[in-house]
Structure 1
Amino acid sequence: MMPASPLSYSADQIHRMLPHGYPFVLLDGVEDVVPGVSGTGIKNITISDPVFNGHFPGRAIYPGVLLIEISGHTCGIVQQADQTPDEGSPEASEGAPRRIGVLAGVRRFSFHHVIAPGDVVRFRVRRRAVLAEMFEYAVRVEVGSRLAAEGTVAIAMQAEAPI
């Protein structure tokens, strides 16, 4: 059943939903989520991000590989939002098994513009295909009205393994 209006997730909710820990919780928010269909991840690029210590000295450029990772996080949140409340919500009960999205593939990702400190980046994702527990999403990475990158990301949903 589709929600009456699109969902939004704060940084705190995202931290609880993703299996990643610091420093790999890279999203600042996710908005306009239609569970299992589409959503928009938000990343505020700041010069204080540790990645800028070495990428690149004298000209801070946000790494493309991290744009792909954030795209995967956004797709995972959108897909996880489609799970049952016990499995997918940030409010899942302690000890209850939950399903998480893991990056399973990247195709035809191309980069069109540099992303730098001060940019607010939007990761617009839309599901294109489903094969069992594999979900393929089209991704557009935008800064304002400018297309910065685009490609396809596949997410596999799996039970979270105990640590």
Structure 2
Amino acid sequence: MTGSYSRSASASFTITDARYVGGRVGADLRLLHNLYGKPGLDSIENYAEEVAVLLNRGFLGIVDYGFRDTGTNAWRLRLRYTATVDGQLTDSRPGSFPDPVDLTGYGFYSFLTYSSAFLLLTSSEQIGVKETLPISRTTGTAPSALAGTTSMGHGYARNGAGVSRDVYLA
């Protein structure tokens, strides 16, 4: 089932709305776990809550989950979620991945970028936000995605905000 939503000026995006979207991301991660054995089930709820908290506060930019070659820092399979507000948003069913691929030797990895609103916070405010998150992230370099295909057009939304998803396969 697919639907489109528009956010009106009077609508308010609540943490409940954000957790709905985060739950959809979590469902995708559970499907990854079922197909490839990772991420660990114990970490999926934390990833989903991280998305919900950051999305609710307007601080989520992009978050990637997938499998990368640690030697070359290149994605083999990546799910990318980009925060989206206003306009036409799609609320799709979780899943719709490409056919399973051989990921032997590739490790699970996640990379997050914050929104411009987060970057406008003072460093102490940024630290305060990060301390409320269930995931402790370190600084790093985003893995590359150079020679592959990307499928777009999937997303999760509620009450005028959400994430658009693309799937990259090398």
Using structure 1 for the length normalisation, give the TM-score: 0.31
As a proportion of its length, which structure holds more strand? 1
Tell me the TM-score normalized by structure 2.
Answer: 0.30
Compare the two structures and name the one with the higher helix fraction.
2
